[in-house]
Amino acid sequence: MMNYVKKLLLIIAGTISLVLGIIGIILPLIPTTPLLLLAAACYVRSSEHLYTWLITNKYFGSYIQNYRLGKGIPLKAKVTGVSVLWITMGYTILFVVPLMMVKVLLFGIASYFSWFILKQKTLQKAEE
């Protein structure tokens, strides 16, 4: 029963991430590649069928395959991802969270993920 619940939650999380990633293809403020990678990570742990469908999809499978092959993440995705991360974390740190320790923790989390995104290789236009 627990494995079923875990798989179901991973499928739901992957599907939400996939939908947001698809919206990100259209809207420039939503980071497409990280969301599609999250969807792939959820699907690979929950449904081989959904994972295979995702990575072979003609519209967004290339985002995941380029990352997995070491080609990198598009510059637009990097800039958008880091920008959205800092806008949301900055707002939360400044206006939402009252505790200093939580603010420091959020700042550390945002810094780590910014570093992680920026250290990834940038996908060159010819490789897309």
pLDDT per residue rounded down to tens, the chain (128 residues) = 779 999 999 999 999 999 998 887 777 667 787 888 899 999 999 999 999 999 999 988 888 888 888 888 888 878 888 888 899 899 999 999 999 999 999 999 889 888 988 998 898 875 55
Q: Is the dihedral of CA 97, 14, 63, 28 positive or negative?
A: negative
Q: How far apart (Å, rounded) are the C-alpha atoms in residues 57 and 75? A: 22
Tell me what pLDDT residue 113 has: 82
Tell me what pLDDT residue 30 has: 74
Q: How far apart (Å, rounded) are the C-alpha atoms in residues 128 and 124? A: 7
Tell me what pLDDT residue 126 has: 58
User: What stretches of the chain adopt beta strand conformation (E)?
Assistant: 73-74, 122-123
Q: How far apart (Å, rounded) are the C-alpha atoms in residues 26 and 107? A: 29
Q: How far apart (Å, rounded) are the C-alpha atoms in residues 66 and 114? A: 20
Q: How far apart (Å, rounded) are the C-alpha atoms in residues 92 and 104? A: 11
Residue 78 sits at φ, ψ, to 5 deg, of -65, -50
**Looking at the whole model, is its pTM more than 0.85?**
no
Tell me what pLDDT residue 29 has: 66
**Burial (0-12, 13-18, 19+ Cβ within 10 Å), 74:** buried
Q: β-strands 73-74, 122-123: how paired?
A: parallel
Domain residue limits, the chain = 2-127
